[in-house]
Amino acid sequence: MSTPVQVQDLQEAEVVFRVKRYSKEKGDYWQEYKLKVDRFTQVTEALRRIKVKQDPSLAYRASCHMAVCGSCGMKINGEPRLACKTLVLDVVKKFGTNVITLEPMDRFPIVKDLVVDMTEFYDRMERVKPRLYPSKEVLEYKAEHRLKPEDQRLLWKFAQCIWCGLCVSACPAVKEDPLFLGPAAHAKGFRFLRDPRDTITEERVKVLADSAWRCTYCYMCYHVCPRDIEPVTAIKKTRALLKSVKPMGPAQEVGHKHSEAVYESIYTYGKINEGVVYVKTYGLIRSLVDMTYAFRAGKAKYALEKVEPVKEVEQVRELMRGE
């Protein structure tokens, strides 16, 4: 059992690592290792010491130990993290216990212990063609590549992906929707979609457009990304860029109407008028059908609540007007 730990000025501690292990022969099981760590010990270093001194059969992946190679993604006390970018005592402090669980990332098939098979992740990344396709002129040295500083500032963040897979392992939409490319691929996809030096925009649009409307904006990817890439932000920007691109896939078609209705409602009233947005997105008949669920849940009395428009709505409109 866990022991409550007095934490704030902790310099060293004996920590119990509960590791979820797996092998083809034995299946799943938990194993505990005790280890003394100090305030500089990363989780990868702890694993290295366990493997060298206690149990050579323990399998995990790690290489650079500096959050660059993306090899050591795992769940640390349930949270998807890079083991090398996580200090053991920080986890002890955050959770108030000296017992730390280590599990393989969700979603990917487990090869052994903390090592997962990333093939499915790499396939997703390949689908967005994660490389620049320069023009013929550039390849033949007849022209030069140019990138404005503001474009570079915009794209920089999304180019920092280290392919660790943490965001995909944690994404709820990926789990339920085979047509959604997932957060990492969208960040990478947007990075090239918006790059003025790239030449296969049309092909990129086809891959990214409908998928972008399949994200649920839960901000899991933003939270777990060890490189602060904000894949969800890339998805929002992709929607902005491709909102009217045709032909529209099913999610894009509905999503486009919905966002347009949200925009219009705020522009008109300064607020979201749920009823109007629903009808504009789904049409009257579908809205009436869904309204019956609300009525059966006893919500009829609120359905006619009148939205009180913003008095200074002209000021709101001014804030919504571009340059």
Partner 1 sequence: MKVAYYPGCASHGLSKDVDIATRKVADLLGIELVEVPDWNCCGGGFLDEYDEVGQVALSIRNLSKVESLRLNKMVTPCSVCLHSHRLAQHKYKEDSDVRKAVNKRLNRANVQYSGTVETEHIVWVLLRDVGVERLKQHVKRPLTGLKVGAYYGCQMLRPESVMGFEPAFNPRSLETLISITGATPVTFPQARACCGFPLMGSNPDVGLKLAYNVLSGATNAGADILVHPCNLCHLQLDTLQLKVVERFKLPQPLPAIYITQLLGLAFGFTPEELGIPKLALEVLRKKGVV
| Run of H or E residues at 111 | strand 110-112
How far, in Å, CA of 65 to CA of 105, rounded?
18
| Least distance CB 215 / partner 1 (angstroms) | 8
Residue 131 has φ and ψ, to the nearest 5°, of -155, 160
Q: By CB under 8 A, what part of segment 159-188 binds partner 1? A: 172-173, 176-177
| Least distance CB 244 / partner 1 (angstroms) | 11
Check residue 283 for interaction with partner 1 (CB under 8 A): no
Check residue 302 for interaction with partner 1 (CB under 8 A): yes
**5, 68, 111, 310: which one binds partner 1 (CB under 8 A):** 310
| Run of H or E residues at 151 | helix 149-156
**205, 254, 279, 287: which one binds partner 1 (CB under 8 A):** 254
How long a stretch of residues is the chain? 323
The CA-atom distances, in angstroms, between 62 and each of 53, 71, 159, 162 are 17, 5, 22, 13
Q: By CB under 8 A, what part of segment 41-100 binds partner 1? A: 77-79, 94-95
Whichever of 33 and 180 has its CB closer to partner 1, that residue is 180
Check residue 206 for interaction with partner 1 (CB under 8 A): no
Check residue 236 for interaction with partner 1 (CB under 8 A): yes
DSSP per-residue codes, 166-228? HHHHH-HHHHH-TT---HHHHHHHHHHHT-TT-S-HHHHHHHHHHHHTT-----HHHHH-TT-
How far, in Å, CA of 141 to CA of 159, rounded?
25
> What are the structure tokens assigned to 86, written together?
């996580």
| Least distance CB 112 / partner 1 (angstroms) | 25
Binding site for partner 1 (CB under 8 A): 77-79, 94-95, 150, 153, 172-173, 176-177, 213-214, 216-220, 222-223, 236-237, 239-240, 243, 250-252, 254-255, 258-259, 262-263, 265-266, 270-275, 277, 281, 290, 293-294, 296-299, 302-303, 305, 307-308, 310-312, 315-316, 318-323
